[in-house]
Amino acid sequence: MTDFKSLQDIWEHTNEKVPEGNFLRKTSGIKSKLIRELTVGAVMLFLTGIFILWMALFVHLNFVHWYTYTAMILIVIVCLGQALLLVKNRQRLTSISETDPPIIHLKRWKDYYQLRSIQNRWNGPLYFIALNVAFAIYFIESFAALPRTYVVVFVVLYMAWMLFAYFILGPKVLTKEKRRLTDIINELESISQELTER
């Protein structure tokens, strides 16, 4: 990774004096964390999708209804689609270069923030609904031969976990990401303001 001094030198060649401070280190550190989270998420979703696809195609599950296999394929599509979205976001994030002039650097972070805001409005609900519809279809045959008590207990636990993940864990993750992006943008706006006043 380009060190802080090199990045500061590049910014100084924009004919604008870069303020003293560790803002490039901070931006780079937050960016690295976001990239790491996107990478881990994409890999886990990809492996999950491939594992379920392998089960559907090569493991003798003895399902007799076509809709059960359709549900498994839908789960695969949801996992791989979400993994692809994370990979695309990772590519957009890595394309933000600390070597860009301050104004362009700030604009790219604002664009990424805007993109994530739009994605969060539709992606979370769509992912939640599609995944749970697929699991509901899959459970029809999977639970057909089980005692009703087991089914009820499992469904209650499953629904409790999904609701907890969607309404509590999900918002916490999004809030953390929003705070990180806002910190970067606020810091860069402050620096841009200093540069324009000189």
Question: How high is the mean pLDDT of the chain?
Answer: 88
Cα–Cα dist 24/5, whole Å: 10
Q: Is the pLDDT score of 22 beyond 70?
A: no
Q: Is the pLDDT score of 12 beyond 60?
A: no
* Closest to 132 measured CA to CA, from 108, 159, 152: 159
H-helix or E-strand spanning residue 110: helix 102-142
Phi, psi of 146 (to 5 degrees): -85, 150
The model's confidence at residue 180, banded by pLDDT at 50, 70 and 90, is very high
Please give the average per-residue pLDDT across 40-64, as a whole number: 96
What's the half-sphere exposure (Cβ side, CA atoms, 13 Å) at 50?
A: 7
Cα–Cα dist 192/186, whole Å: 10
Residue 198 has a pLDDT of: 63
* Closest to 176 measured CA to CA, from 120, 94, 97: 120
Cα–Cα dist 198/196, whole Å: 5
Residue 25 has a pLDDT of: 73
The model's confidence at residue 4, banded by pLDDT at 50, 70 and 90, is very low
Residues 6 or more apart whose Cβ sits within 8 Å of residue 25? 4
Q: What is the CA radius of gyration of the chain?
A: 23
